Amino acid sequence: MGVVAVFFYLFASITVASAFMVIASRNPVHSVLFLILAFFNAAGLFMLTGAEFLALILIVVYVGAVAVLFLFVVMMLDVDFAELRQGFLQYLPIGGIIGLVLLIELVLVLGGLSISPEAASTAVQPIPDLAETSNIKAIGDLLYTRYIFFFQLAGLVLLVAMIGAIVLTLSHRPNVRRQDISVQVARDPKEAVVMHNVKPGEGI
């Protein structure tokens, strides 16, 4: 067994164990920490396969932003997850149906790969030779040439979602002083500035 195989089984076992602890932990903070551990080990698996771009995305985006955001939200909001779990059984049939559909889709996908392994060679966009270029450059070439429209459209959708979330959560509380640019620009300097002739040794 080579060194690569040893690291593969190490990362894979820790990923599976931490993923199980994400759903098994009673403390939501512990669940988020196990999720971060699962992301780190999944990034190690991607590095072993030569997909360093996906490994960096997992660490920078998911661990550095998404998982940390989950952690802060859970710690600051102090959500009562015991109350949220009430009524969980009434959604069990719908969840079971969705899980069964996903299982059938996975079986069909894996069965198709095993039946016709040459399906990958029929892709519209040929896979570049990674010996000549890195996969980060290859992904960048595809994103900013062939799929530039979809890439920009995805960014626009995220921007609209971010603006919508800000608008929905923005609340104007009374008795809070706010800045009014038009009033500030229209002010008369004679009314805004009051000159006082202060004598030496005396206050205003």
**Tens-digit pLDDT string for the chain (204 aa):** 678 888 888 889 999 999 998 888 877 778 888 888 888 899 888 888 877 888 888 888 877 777 777 777 766 666 666 666 666 677 778 888 988 998 888 888 777 655 555 655 555 555 555 566 677 777 888 888 888 899 899 889 989 988 887 777 776 667 777 777 888 888 877 777 777 788 887 766
Query: How high is the pLDDT of residue 115?
Result: 54
Query: How high is the pLDDT of residue 189?
Result: 73
Alpha-carbon dihedral sign for residues 188, 189, 194, 195: negative
**pTM for the full predicted model:** 0.54
Query: Fold for domain 1-81?
Result: Four Helix Bundle (Hemerythrin (Met), subunit A) (1.20.120)
Cβ proximity of 71 and 29 under 8 Å:
yes
CA angle in degrees (0–180, nearest 5) for 14-19-25: 115
Give the separation between CA 115 and CA 108, rounded to whole angstroms. Answer: 10
Alpha-carbon dihedral sign for residues 106, 158, 153, 145: negative
Report domain extents, the chain: 1-81, 132-172
